[in-house]
Structure 1
């Protein structure tokens, strides 16, 4: 992994120079560092011995370079958000870095199947759980400091840290048929356990140099085709959605505490639950035809198994679907969600959205 960190830093140097020249002395987004699960994974699992991979067709059917390891037909929400920020595609840490015509402006550490807890998603095989993702980022920072010196902290303070985590701690842990977690924890106790651990992880990123954070809450997990397809109801599974809401309530509380206690910290909570629910409940207003049916998959609502690699793709117009496969949204939905995060009203006070988050000066400046 050390080679990956060194390669990343050489390219971050180019991004740092470009961002400094472009900033004109004021705050500007220098880079984006991405952490989390398959909702934002850009291919970190490709080289691992794991079942959590999307490096085959039809994944990437609408992505310029085809299947890259993204669990989507096109771009993830991180890809769309990066584009709105004027950044090039953020490459995976566990991949090959290459210098293109655009400056390199970030690293993606996300790993499909991973969670806040180390045992989430372990049924898939090798993964990078959040703890390991943070360790990989810290290796990158060590290399940055060795090459960039004192400018490293300033560069990181002008970067956006996007974290989308927690879904697998439910879908591939707490809610598994043979999981022992429900016996040990009520839904409320499990949410507190997760968010307490998550808060420690976020603090670790802060002490490693992060200052501007966009933290995604959990979406309505019970509305995924995998949840609906596994039951008898034609609509969302309310019990699963309530678990997501418990997590989100605890997350909002811990982010308020971090904002108050950590100097210069700006943790912006992204209410993905409300955004997703709005699109699902008013799907036709957004140009969708299918609110719960997956575009690609097998079984009821195409939610039983993920996209098979050899069968023909049944959905021609992917933009009509909210869900690409049993667990992940389409490129069309990701574009809407990213725009909401970038320009919408995520909270009443400033910063209200990502645009303001990356423009506002830190309190000591």
Structure 2
């Protein structure tokens, strides 16, 4: 169950300068996820899953970078709401190895930040969005061994157990059992060199995204031979099994790890709402049109904000792809993308458009993700 690991951060000390208003909200943002938020880590890997060619990046300020999108990912747009110029590094590796790499990253930071490293990590934002590829590129494949071995409920349990272990403490029979909680509570709040999970590595501000409605993506509409373009409920039900268990785990961590905050983003409900009411989602801004090319200035200009007055016009057909619903063939250089990309929910058979990602990032940053404080990312980073 490999997934992508990458991080982007803006270190105040390493640049030795002040930032524009808003940048002091969070010193860094570390992102763990899959191709939905990949900035181009697959470029140097021996894999067919690449996006380092046109028309990917056709609307991105820096051009084609390896993002599976016509523009920016949710992480890109969320970072821009902090007024950050984003830089990336990482590769596709198992999550446990990702933690080892992040452990090494903290050691490197400590050489720059010295005794300020712990505070830097504690105040940083950790965005995690795993799970989708475990279904799309594993469990849902026609000849998947996982599917013959595990029921949907059992597979969801397997993923939650693994993810929970990587977030915090080892688990026994139940994916919700924090058997090392007392030990963790009494241990040092920060370490590097031997820690095995993000909490022990110092992370305290988490945003956990659940699996989006993968039964609605063009790839699954094609795979399940949908005639109407309606979401495949059996696939969405699998995602719902995982999402329910993930929410239970997040709630338990919030109750037991008082010094940390785990903010749960219901990407599934958000995606369903956009897809079902796609025509109502207009007036979305495209921040990629106002980031300056002068990276040294670390400033933004809003002079060229683009506002789309009309909502989406296509909620189930990809802008770039081939076959039914354009979900059978991935976006390739020989294929011409749609011209009106801001009117499409999906960019290719698997990934949303820049326009969708703009709306999603605004929901993360300013929406009501939960009833209690912090309600959104903006409140989380300021807490």
Q: Report the Cα offset of residue 154 of structure 1.
A: 0.2
Separation (CA, whole Å) in 2 of partners of 1:191 and 1:215:
16
Deviating above 6 A after TM superposition, structure 1's stretches of 4 or more consecutive aligned residues are 21-24
With the length of structure 1 as denominator, give the TM-score of the two structures. Answer: 0.82
User: How far does the alpha carbon of each residue in 1:143-180 deviate from its partner, in whole angstroms, 9 at most, with x for none?
Assistant: 11233222101011111111111001111111111111
Separation (CA, whole Å) in 1 of partners of 2:147 and 2:254:
31
Q: Provide the residue aligned with 1:3 in structure 2.
A: none
User: How far does the alpha carbon of each residue in 1:32-75 deviate from its partner, in whole angstroms, 9 at most, with x for none?
Assistant: 11111011111111111111111100000000111101100000
Separation (CA, whole Å) in 2 of partners of 1:12 and 1:227:
43
Q: Provide the residue aligned with 2:305 in structure 1.
A: none
With the length of structure 2 as denominator, give the TM-score of the two structures. Answer: 0.79
- Out of 300, 306, 317, the residue aligned to residue 324 of structure 2 is 300
Q: Provide the residue aligned with 2:295 in structure 1.
A: none
Q: Provide the residue aligned with 2:375 in structure 1.
A: 352
Separation (CA, whole Å) in 1 of partners of 2:9 and 2:214:
36
In 1, are the aligned partners of 2:320 and 2:335 still within 8 Å (CA)? no
Gaps of 5+ in 1: 1-7, 95-110, 112-126, 361-365
Gaps of 5+ in 2: 1-7, 169-196, 282-310
- Please give the root-mean-square deviation of Cα atoms over the aligned residues, in Å: 2.1
Matched, 1:252 2:247: yes
Answer with 342-351 or 225-234: which moved more.
Answer: 225-234
Structure 1 segment 90-101 matched on structure 2, within 5 A: 91-94=87-90
Q: Provide the residue aligned with 1:274 in structure 2.
A: 269
- Out of 134, 137, 146, the residue aligned to residue 102 of structure 2 is 137
Separation (CA, whole Å) in 2 of partners of 1:48 and 1:332:
28
Q: Report the Cα offset of residue 142 of structure 1.
A: 1.0
Matched, 1:40 2:14: no
In 1, are the aligned partners of 2:342 and 2:353 still within 8 Å (CA)? yes
In 2, are the aligned partners of 1:16 and 1:30 still within 8 Å (CA)? no
Q: How many residues align?
A: 317
User: How far does the alpha carbon of each residue in 1:61-106 deviate from its partner, in whole angstroms, 9 at most, with x for none?
Assistant: 00011110110000000001001122222x2214xxxxxxxxxxxx
Q: Provide the residue aligned with 1:98 in structure 2.
A: none
Q: Provide the residue aligned with 2:359 in structure 1.
A: 336
Q: Provide the residue aligned with 2:25 in structure 1.
A: 28
User: How far does the alpha carbon of each residue in 1:303-333 deviate from its partner, in whole angstroms, 9 at most, with x for none?
Assistant: 01210123333x1010010000000000000
C-alpha change, 1:176 and 1:321, in structure 2 (3 Å) is same
Q: Provide the residue aligned with 1:240 in structure 2.
A: 235
C-alpha change, 1:9 and 1:164, in structure 2 (3 Å) is closer
Separation (CA, whole Å) in 1 of partners of 2:62 and 2:233:
38
Q: Report the Cα offset of residue 17 of structure 1.
A: 6.6
Separation (CA, whole Å) in 1 of partners of 2:26 and 2:166:
22
Matched, 1:320 2:343: yes
C-alpha change, 1:242 and 1:134, in structure 2 (3 Å) is same
Q: Report the Cα offset of residue 196 of structure 1.
A: 1.1
Separation (CA, whole Å) in 2 of partners of 1:223 and 1:257:
30
Separation (CA, whole Å) in 2 of partners of 1:28 and 1:276:
27
Answer with 292-301 or 207-216: which moved more.
Answer: 207-216
User: How far does the alpha carbon of each residue in 1:6-54 deviate from its partner, in whole angstroms, 9 at most, with x for none?
Assistant: xx999563268747x9799xx8311111111011111111111111111
Structure 1 segment 167-246 matched on structure 2, within 5 A: 167-203=132-168, 204-233=197-226, 234=228, 235-246=230-241
